[in-house]
Amino acid sequence: MSTRPQHTPPIHEMFQPEPSARGPRSSKSKNRLGCGIVLALILLLVGGVAAGGWWVWSTYESQIRELMGWEEPKDYEAGMAEGEVLVTIADGDGGQQISQTLFDQGVTKTSDAFYDMLVDTGATTTFYPGTYQLQLKMTAAAALEALEDPANKMENSAQLPEGLTVEQTLTRLSESTTISLDELEAAVAKPSDYGVSADSLEGWLFPATYTFEPGTTATAVIQTLVDRAVESLDAASVPVDERQRVLTVASIIQREAGSEADFYKVSRVIQNRLDDSMLLQMDSTAQYGYGEMHDGTVSSSAEALSDDNPWNTYVRQGLPAGPIANPGDIAIDAAMHPADGDWLYFVTVNLETGETVFTNNLADHEAAVAQWRAWCTENPDAGC
């Protein structure tokens, strides 16, 4: 083979079309070909600009909107309100907490619309605990007016979201009904009164919205909640002798999953780790056992992780001693019907969206944890 360099044709010859098997092209064919090449180059250029523009927009949308004065309104417009929704104000809730609650319930458009309105108007409203009937898609001002109207306060109605503990549930019931906290605490003292063979009714006070007749006793209220839990267990085909175990698993799912879409995958992780005789290492159980579930963060302290109590799955093999919260229908169903998969780890990498990464090996899990830590660094007030 010759080692001499090959002859390189002049550049204008390099772009000449190859001879066709059907004979030489006409001048019109050449013109069409040239136009096609130019058009293709233009499309590539425009496409590249568009792709780059889309990346810039998707990455810096909020900054661009602020710079150009294109910021989307934080509040709904008057006249958009529709439907009905119950909103619960807990004892001690201030403007910021209520602003978040209104957004979570679909009342206001953004999480800070209500609070910003209070600050901007200098409103000095006193908020009373209880459950209120409002509408979806209200303006912040209309929501405030509704909360100040006694006619919107639901008497003897309680809204109990998923994931509350017995302690939190009783507090909400006392704030929303005429029954005192002391009466409710006395009513839950003996789980056997409700056919529950456990040391506590943790997990058995089903989360839902309830309305009680005037004069309903504390015992009757608790019985209603337990009956609703049994209804959910039966709907998920839970055997009677498995109820406590399923509620325990479901309560972990309820507290750990970033979104309901992940409930069945979290259930599979729990089952896989139990099957492999791995420690569950669920932060929610460590927090519950150590008494730091309500500190407003998802992270566990070193003391909670190392404390040797019956609920801490970082130091105890298998499931915790019992449920750690009151699970809802989906969590209970997920406990009975885990998704198919080989996952052993998961971490919610975005606390705002609930985005969760599931992995089957420690290296990938540690990479996901690093992603979560980076998100927390960028969002220092997000509850990490």
| Chain segment 134-182, per-residue pLDDT in tens | 999 999 999 999 999 988 988 888 889 999 999 999 999 998 888 999 9
82-154: CATH class: alpha beta
Calculate the alpha carbon distances from 128 to 62, 119, 152, 282 in Å. 36, 19, 12, 36
Which of the given ranges, 62-66, 145-149, 240-244, has the highest pLDDT on average? 240-244
What is the rounded distance in angstroms from the CA atom of residue 294 to the CA atom of residue 168? 10
At 129, is the pLDDT very low, low, confident or very high (cuts 50, 70, 90)? confident
Query: Is the pLDDT reported for residue 54 higher than 90?
Result: no
211: part of which helix (H) or strand (E)? strand 209-211
**Side-chain-facing half-sphere of 121: CA atoms under 13 Å:** 13
What is the rounded distance in angstroms from the CA atom of residue 74 to the CA atom of residue 103? 11
At 382, is the pLDDT very low, low, confident or very high (cuts 50, 70, 90)? confident
List phi, psi (to 5°) of 190. Answer: -120, 95
| Exposure letters 185-196 (e unless 16+ CB within 10 A, then b) | eebbeebeebeb
Q: In what order do the strands lie in the sheet with 130-136?
A: 82-89, 130-136, 153-154
pTM score above 0.75: no
At 326, which amino acid appears? N
What number is the average pLDDT over the span 193-217? 94
Torsion of CA 160, 161, 162, 165, to 10 degrees: -50
Identify the pLDDT of residue 19: 37
The single residue listed with the structure tokens 């010859």 is 13
- The full set of domain ranges for the chain reads 82-154, 157-235, 241-378
Identify the pLDDT of residue 285: 96
